[in-house]
Amino acid sequence: MNKVLVTTIAIFFASFSFQAKPADIYFANNTLYLKGEIRPGDAEHFATVVTKQKYIYNFEINSLGGDLAEAIQIANLVKGLHNIVYVEDDGYCVSACFFILLEGYNRTFSPANDDGTLPADKYRQMYHFSFVGIHRPYLSSPSGDGKSAIQQETIMGFARDYLKQKSVPQHLIDEMMARPSNDIYWLNDHDKEMIGAYSPGDEEALIAKCGYKRIITQLSENWSDEKKERLSTCQSEYWAKQYMQSNINFIAKLRTGWRPWQTVLVKNDYDVTKANWREYGHNKDLTAYIDNASITTEGNKVKMWILINYNKPSTILRETLLSEIDQNEFDCKEIQARRNYSINYSGNMGRGSQGRSGAISDSWVTPTAGSLLEQAWKIACRK
């Protein structure tokens, strides 16, 4: 059983009409801060600041987004620390920043209006709100041709899969993908409730241990200040018992030079180095091969490994790609196909350095008549 190294996936989110500034990352007043645009190198800077502390409980953020690959690396650090994540008063957490917020042990921000717009300026100045906004990802330098369109779909597919893994409600994923990169959907009270302040596991534990109820319920039940204070104390004690030591251990591990994004391994039963590739089709852009020995059948479903060899290098998601090896699954009864696994390579025929790799949750599609995918379906299903 070989192990496939999953490398960092680089995606850029759109800039905004707001004035973007480089991220300022520092620790003060028992709180870790990140303010400004997220750029390459910020995750390492974040880790360096973290290693200078014994433990970190609070993390406050104010960012209009930036490089999503970097944001996901920062999110991995936040996940390891189990931080409480606050969006700064009068601040924003937009686009790539949303992916960081998701990893907070506790997530605190203000809801927008029910229609996804922001409250009037006078109310924002009065109450010092902090908002979270989303929109679809897009290429940092699109070429405007058909190739860009394919790359755009690849980026959006990655974002969808990532958010599903984080249990983000489907309606928010759909809202993100439908919202163009020059517009923002601001999360409202319903969205905030659907995401939750805590993960389901922690929320249920706090309900059992502390009598926790969500803010909207506390308000409707008119909780006293004393009752709120007791809950706050219990929540702090819960974090200290469950996560303080792991927080300290995680920081100690970072001090050794280890980083969570360096060695992410997934298991894969198929050894691509032993494949016997046979060409089954080509077009002006690529040549496609199959490994007959890889074909497995279960009922109406057939799985088969396919190698795609590109005629020209393609740079996408911060990688140069000349070939990819995919496990495709075919439904012989419904005439459908999807990818389950993909491995990218910098050279032809699965050679060169390995790039973006891992499991994929593609939707079932009906192969277009005359396409290479249809040819593969016919081979798999012996039609």
208-266: per-residue pLDDT in tens?
Answer: 999 999 988 999 999 999 999 999 999 999 999 999 999 999 999 999 998 887 543 33
Least reliable range by pLDDT among 10-14, 231-235, 247-251, 343-347: 10-14
CB-based contact 285:371 (threshold 8 Å): no
* Same domain for 273 and 219: no
| pLDDT value, residue 139 | 64
118-160: per-residue pLDDT in tens?
Answer: 888 888 778 889 999 999 887 665 555 556 676 677 778 778 8
User: How far apart (Å, rounded) are the C-alpha atoms in residues 86 and 73?
Assistant: 18
* Same domain for 305 and 183: no
263 domain residue, yes or no? no
Q: Helix, strand, coil proportions of the chain in percent (round to 5)?
A: 35, 30, 35
User: How far apart (Å, rounded) are the C-alpha atoms in residues 218 and 231?
Assistant: 11
Nearest-Å Rg of the Cα atoms of the chain is 23
344 domain residue, yes or no? yes
Q: Where are the beta strands (DSSP E) in the chain?
A: 2-6, 24-28, 31-35, 58-62, 84-87, 92-94, 106-108, 131-134, 185-186, 264-268, 277-282, 286-291, 296-298, 301-316, 319-331, 336-345, 354-359
* Same domain for 330 and 202: no
* Same domain for 301 and 227: no
264 domain residue, yes or no? no
pLDDT category at 15 given cuts 50, 70, 90 is: very low
Instruction: Count the domains in the chain.
Output: 2
> For 120, which DSSP code?
P
| pLDDT value, residue 216 | 87
Greater pLDDT, 216 or 22 = 216
DSSP for 224-245? -HHHHHHHHHHHHHHHHHHHHH
24-71: per-residue pLDDT in tens?
Answer: 999 999 999 999 999 888 999 999 999 999 999 999 999 999 888 789
* Same domain for 109 and 16: yes
Angle (CA) 364-367-370 rounded to 5° is 170
**Directed axis angle between helix 225-255 and helix 200-210, to 10°?**
130
The verdict on pTM exceeding 0.75 is no
* Same domain for 129 and 73: yes
Greater pLDDT, 94 or 6 = 94
| pLDDT value, residue 68 | 82
Residue 4 has pLDDT above 50, yes or no: no
How many other CB atoms sit within 10 Å of the CB of residue 19?
8
Residue 101 has pLDDT above 70, yes or no: yes
Residue 316 has pLDDT above 60, yes or no: no
Tokens encoding 169 = 């409600």
Q: Which of 294, 290, 269, 270 is nearest to 278 (CA)?
A: 290
* Same domain for 324 and 234: no
> For 332, which DSSP code?
T
CATH number, position 330 = 2.40.128.710
| pLDDT value, residue 10 | 38
263-291: per-residue pLDDT in tens?
Answer: 433 345 566 667 889 999 999 889 999 99
pLDDT category at 22 given cuts 50, 70, 90 is: low
> For 348, which DSSP code?
G
Domain with 323 in it: 269-381
Domain edge (last residue) among 200, 225, 255: 255
CATH number, position 150 = 3.90.226.10
Please report, for residues 33, 49, 54, 118, 210, the alpha-carbon distance to residue 28 in angstroms, rounded to integers and kept in the order given. Answer: 8, 11, 13, 30, 29
User: How far apart (Å, rounded) are the C-alpha atoms in residues 300 and 378?
Assistant: 13
> For 37, which DSSP code?
B
